[in-house]
Amino acid sequence: MNATKLIIFGVANIPIYFFVGCVFFNNWTEFWESVRFWLTPDILSAFRGEYWDDCLGEMKLVLWFGCCIACVVAEMHIFDKLFG
Q: What's the pLDDT score for residue 2? A: 85
What average pLDDT does range 1-15 have in this prediction? Answer: 91
Rounded to an integer, what distance in angstroms lies between the CA atom of residue 70 and that of residue 72?
5
Q: Tell me, what's the pLDDT at 84?
A: 73
pLDDT at 20: 96
For 37-80, the pLDDT digits (tens) are 999 999 999 999 999 999 999 999 999 999 999 999 999 999 99
CB atoms within 10 A of CB 2: 8
Alpha-carbon torsion (68, 26, 31, 53), positive or negative? negative
Structural domain boundaries in the chain? 2-83
Residue among 68, 84, 83, 81 nearest 9 (CA) = 68
If you count them, how many residues does the chain have? 84
Structure confidence by residue, pLDDT tens digits, 9-31: 999 999 999 999 999 999 999 99
pTM: 0.89
Please list, residue by residue across 44-57, b when 16 or more beta carbons sit within 10 angstroms of its beta carbon and e when fewer do: ebeeeebeeebeeb
Is pLDDT of 1 > 80?
no
20 residue type, one letter: V
